[in-house]
Amino acid sequence: MPCYSIDGVIPVISPHAYVHPTAVLIGDVIIEDGVYVGPLASLRADFGRIHVQANANIQDACVIHGFPNSITQVAERAHVGHGAILHGCTLHHNVLIGMHSVILDGAVIGENTIVGAHSLVKAKMQVPANVMLVGSPAKVIRELTEAEKNWKQQGTQTYIELAQRCLHSMQEVQPHAQIHSHRRDYRDFFSQHVTKHEYLTKQP
C-alpha cells in the first residue's frame, strides 16, 4: 500500500493486520494486530498520531487526521463505517461509527456506543457509554439494548475475520470475460452477518 514517512516518522503496521493496497498511510500511524483498513482509506498523521488498536476496522474511503500534537485513537474492536471522518477524536472500546459520520476534535465516544449514519459529533462532545447517538449535530436519543450490542459485536467479528480472509486469500486478478458455470460467487464467501433489522426481528 502507499505508505509514507514525513520528518523521518514512519508508520507501524502489524503483520497480523490487513491494510488494502489502495489505502494511504502517512507519518505517525500505528496499526495493531487484527485491524482491517479498507480500500481508499486515508490515515494522514503528519501533525499528530493515529492509533488504531487491535481488532478495530476502518472501512472504505474513511479519512483520519488531527491537529498538531493530537492523538486520534480508535480503540479495540471499534468499527468505523464507510466514508466516515475522524479528526482528533477518541473512540473507546467497541464503538460503532455509522457510514459518512463526522467526529470532530476532542470528541470522546464512550464504550459500546453507536453513532448513526450521517451524524455530526461536535468538537469536545463527551458521549457516554452504551447509547445511540444520531443527527447533525448529534444527540443521544436513548440507551442501547443488549440485542443491539450483540448485533454490533457480531458485525465487528465479521471484520476481524475479514482481515484474516484478506491476508490469506485476497489477490489482484484479471476479471473473467463472461460468467462460467464453474465460477465461484457470493455464496462461497465466509460471512454470515445480517442487517440490524434482520438480527433484531429474529430475537425472542
Q: What is the DSSP string of 70-126?
A: -EEEE-TT-EE-TT-EEES-EE-TT-EE-TT-EE-TT-EE-TT-EEPTT-EEPTT-E
Domain assignment of residue 95, yes or no: yes
> Per-residue pLDDT for 202 more than 90?
no
Domain assignment of residue 191, yes or no: no
Q: How much is the average pLDDT of 21-38? A: 98
Measured CA to CA, the distance from residue 117 to residue 119 in angstroms comes to 6
For 189, residues 6+ apart whose C-beta sits below 8 A from its C-beta are: none
Domain assignment of residue 100, yes or no: yes
Q: Which residues are paired to 135 by β-bridges?
A: 138
Pairing relation of β-strands 131-135 and 138-143?
A: antiparallel
Cis peptide before 137 (omega within 30 of 0): yes
Q: How many structural domains does the chain have?
A: 1
Segment 161-201, tens digit of pLDDT: 999 999 999 999 999 999 998 898 888 887 665 555 555 56
Measured CA to CA, the distance from residue 190 to residue 124 in angstroms comes to 40
Domain assignment of residue 183, yes or no: no
> Per-residue pLDDT for 62 more than 80?
yes
Looking at residue 63, which CATH number applies to its domain? 2.160.10.10
Domain assignment of residue 20, yes or no: yes
Q: How much is the average pLDDT of 6-31? A: 98
Range of the domain at 68: 3-143
Measured CA to CA, the distance from residue 155 to residue 102 in angstroms comes to 20
Give the burial class of 107: count Cβ atoms within 10 A of its Cβ; 0-12 exposed, 13-18 middle, 19 or more buried. Answer: buried
pLDDT value of position 190: 72
